[in-house]
């Protein structure tokens, strides 16, 4: 099934994926929900419409009722599935006669936003498999049409049951095919429309199957916007938030790394079609349509949700833009093929900078929570501990975020949810859950302030308030 050449390319792709995410492996942090799972051992994905994610974790962790930590194997396995995704794309590009198809397909790996998916040490394996399955749902070919369609539908549905946003890479791959059409002189409009229609029907089909059989009935996150003025305003706000997040990555000087290969493509396209205005117009039209589909792929159907997840981990198709930029370079300017790799420099740099920021912030927070634990240990009979407020960013993290704004979407200084599990891990099991009990902690803190209770200790990092056998920790510097 796989030739010796395929195995070699797969090994190279997996190595590139490892190179890309290695800084996260080296950082070795517990990221957001990881803090919860590392202490409670909960699975918890089934209720979010991801039942196969629960099953997968049970199988690979070999730990039964508790979801036990498999780091770093989860991240290493993610490299394999990212590599397999690029291999599937390369075989598709080769069939479309794209020059240097193996080089172009490798670009699918270098998505700066997918680093948030990888950062979740408990989620990363399921998410990377979901990504791979969505790619298979698009690229799989078989001489038997029935087997091909059935395989694509099963792969698409399984992708959704692992992590719904990963299915959006299917739409992203459609944008790649439209760019391929843009470079083909012989492609007719009718054929293009038929091709797009078939892919759309396939995507809608496996999405509907998922909605009928696997989507949870009472998931508040799945509520759609209303088709009225309020709904349209909500959609506009989501689009603005999406634009802001994407542009935060293209912050100076990163946009230059994208501008250079785009400029090369445009110049050589104009030279190639200098005697035929019709071909220039056709290329621009298809290229614009490809870019539009790419924009749609960034969030896909989740764009229409009331609680639209405008988060880095949902933009699994962002690296598609690297492939779209590379295709015309390979077609019009093959001698400049390595110019397509210029945006990868920014992706690799971002991976290192993000990991350094996350690790630096974790070390800072670990220092603060050690102080808090020692402080509380001096007070006997504390039966409950609540947290309010938020820790600051440390200076190293702040410098990185100021110059790479997208990092700010990844790094979350400790608040109630994140702080509570860090305190439990410091040996304070009486700490209230910072997610479900947040209002109770806030109300108790407000009552203490109204009563004029002063902190028993206070510094630039936190203030500790105690009333009877209850303690409230205000994170950050309190304003007197």
Question: What's the pLDDT score for residue 229?
Answer: 86
Q: Are 397 and 364 in contact (CB under 8 A)?
A: yes
Give the Å distances, CA to CA, from 332 to 99, 144, 279: 10, 35, 13
Q: What is the pTM of this model?
A: 0.95
Per residue in 93-104, pLDDT (tens digit) is 999 999 999 999
Q: Are 323 and 108 in contact (CB under 8 A)?
A: yes
**Structure-token pair, residue 45:** 């994905």
Give the Å distances, CA to CA, from 69 to 43, 57, 174, 392, 424: 11, 10, 36, 28, 17
**Structure-token pair, residue 90:** 């390369």
Regions of the chain where pLDDT drops below 50: none
Q: Are 103 and 337 in contact (CB under 8 A)?
A: yes
Q: Are 249 and 112 in contact (CB under 8 A)?
A: yes
Q: Are 338 and 332 in contact (CB under 8 A)?
A: no
Q: Are 415 and 389 in contact (CB under 8 A)?
A: yes
Per residue in 186-227, pLDDT (tens digit) is 767 788 889 999 999 999 999 999 999 988 776 666 688 888
Q: Which of 164, 157, 166, 161 minimizes the C-alpha distance to 108?
A: 166
- Residue 372 CA to residue 462 CA, distance in Å, equals 8
Question: What's the pLDDT score for residue 187?
Answer: 64
Question: What's the pLDDT score for residue 434?
Answer: 72
Question: What's the pLDDT score for residue 156?
Answer: 97
- Residue 212 CA to residue 233 CA, distance in Å, equals 29
Rg from Cα positions in the chain: 25
**Structure-token pair, residue 314:** 């949902």
Give the Å distances, CA to CA, from 408 to 244, 246, 253, 259, 471: 12, 12, 17, 24, 30
Question: What's the pLDDT score for residue 221?
Answer: 67
Strand order in the sheet with 384-389: 384-389, 470-475, 462-467, 457-458
């Amino acid at each position: 099934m796989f030739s010796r050449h395929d195995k070699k390319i797969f090994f190279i792709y997996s190595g590139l994926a490892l190179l890309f995410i290695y800084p996260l492996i080296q950082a070795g942090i517990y990221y957001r929900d990881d803090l919860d799972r590392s202490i409670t051992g909960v699975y918890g994905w089934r209720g979010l419409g991801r039942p196969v994610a629960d099953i997968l974790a049970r199988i690979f962790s070999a730990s039964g009722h508790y979801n036990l930590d498999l780091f770093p194997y989860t991240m290493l396995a993610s490299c394999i599935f990212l590599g397999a995704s690029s291999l599937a794309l390369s075989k598709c590009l080769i069939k479309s006669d794209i020059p240097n198809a193996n080089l172009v397909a490798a670009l699918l790996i270098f998505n700066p936003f997918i680093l948030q998916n990888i950062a979740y040490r408990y989620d990363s394996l399921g998410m990377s498999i979901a990504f791979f399955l969505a790619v298979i749902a698009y690229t799989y070919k078989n001489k038997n049409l029935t087997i091909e369609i059935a395989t694509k539908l099963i792969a698409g549905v399984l992708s959704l049951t692992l992590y719904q946003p990963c299915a959006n890479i299917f739409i992203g791959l459609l944008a790649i095919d439209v760019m391929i059409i843009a470079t083909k002189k012989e492609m007719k409009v009718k054929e293009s429309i038929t091709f797009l229609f078939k892919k759309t029907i396939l995507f809608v089909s496996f999405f509907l199957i998922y909605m009928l059989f696997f989507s949870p009935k009472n998931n508040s996150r799945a509520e759609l916007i209303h088709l009225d003025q309020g709904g349209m305003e909500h959609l506009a706000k989501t689009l603005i938030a999406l634009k802001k997040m994407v542009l935060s990555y293209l912050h100076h000087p990163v946009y230059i790394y994208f501008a250079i290969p785009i400029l090369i493509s445009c110049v050589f396209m104009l030279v190639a079609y200098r005697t035929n205005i019709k071909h220039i117009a056709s290329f621009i039209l298809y290229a614009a349509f490809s870019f539009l589909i790419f924009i749609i792929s960034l969030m896909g159907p989740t764009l229409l949700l009331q609680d639209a997840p405008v988060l880095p981990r949902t933009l699994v198709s962002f690296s598609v833009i690297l492939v779209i930029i590379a295709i015309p370079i390979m077609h019009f300017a093959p001698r400049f093929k390595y110019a397509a790799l210029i945006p990868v420099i920014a992706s690799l740099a971002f991976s290192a900078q993000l990991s350094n920021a996350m690790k630096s912030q974790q070390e800072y927070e670990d220092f603060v929570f050690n102080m808090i634990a020692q402080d509380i240990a001096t007070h006997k009979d504390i039966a409950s501990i609540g947290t309010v407020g938020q820790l600051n960013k440390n200076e190293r993290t702040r410098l990185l975020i100021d110059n790479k704004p997208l990092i700010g979407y990844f790094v979350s200084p400790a608040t109630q949810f994140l702080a509570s599990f860090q305190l439990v891990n410091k040996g304070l099991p009486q700490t209230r859950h910072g997610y479900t009990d947040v209002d109770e902690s806030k109300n108790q803190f407000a009552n203490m302030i109204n009563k004029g209770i002063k902190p028993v200790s206070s510094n630039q990092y936190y203030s500790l308030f105690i009333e009877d056998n209850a303690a409230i920790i205000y994170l950050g510097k309190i304003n007197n």
